[in-house]
Chain A
Amino acid sequence: MENLSEVKNYPFIQGKNLSLCAVNIDNIKLYASWDNNPEARKYARILFPKTPEEYKKYMEKSQEGVPREIGFELWHNEDKKPIGFVGFNFIHWPNRMGNIGLIIGEPAYWKKNLGFEATCLILEYAFNELNLNKVNADMYDVNVASWKICEKIGMKREVTLEKHVYVKGKYTNAYEYRIFKEEWDELRKKFDFK
Chain B
Amino acid sequence: MNKEENNNKELVYVPFIEGENVALAPTNIDHIHLYAKWNNNPKARHYARNMIPHTKENLKKWFEPRAGLTEHVGFEIWHKKDKVPIGTCGFGRINWIDRNANIYMSIGEPEYWNKNLGTEASRLLIDYGFKELNFFKIFAGVFEPNIRSWSVAEKDGFVLEGVEEKAIYIDGEYVDARRYGLFKEDWLKRQEEK
Interface residues of A (CB under 8 A from B): 61-68, 93-96, 129-131
Q: How many A-B contacts at CB < 8 Å in the complex?
A: 39
Q: What does DSSP make chain B's interface, helix, strand, loop or mixed?
A: loop
Q: What does DSSP make chain A's interface, helix, strand, loop or mixed?
A: loop
Residue of A whose beta carbon sits closest to that of B96: A93
B97 & A131 in contact (Cβ 8 Å cutoff)? yes
Tell me the smallest distance from the CB of B185 to a CB of chain A, in Å: 16
Known A-B contacts: A64-B71, A93-B69, A131-B98. Give 20 more (CB < 8 A).
Answer: A61-B67, A62-B67, A63-B67, A63-B68, A64-B66, A65-B68, A65-B69, A66-B69, A66-B95, A66-B96, A66-B97, A67-B67, A67-B69, A68-B68, A93-B96, A94-B96, A94-B133, A95-B134, A96-B99, A129-B97
What residues of A have a CB within 8 angstroms of the CB of B96 in the complex? 66, 93-94
B97 & A67 in contact (Cβ 8 Å cutoff)? no
CB of B5 closer than 8 Å to a CB of A: no
> How many chain B residues touch the partner (CB < 8 A)?
14
> Can you list 7 pairs linking A and B with CB atoms under 8 Å apart?
A62-B67, A66-B71, A67-B67, A94-B96, A94-B132, A95-B134, A131-B98
Residue of B whose beta carbon sits closest to that of A61: B67
Cα A65 to Cα B133 in complex, Å, equals: 15
CB of B70 closer than 8 Å to a CB of A: yes
Cα A66 to Cα B93 in complex, Å, equals: 11
B134 & A66 in contact (Cβ 8 Å cutoff)? no
Tell me the smallest distance from the CB of A37 to a CB of chain B, in Å: 28
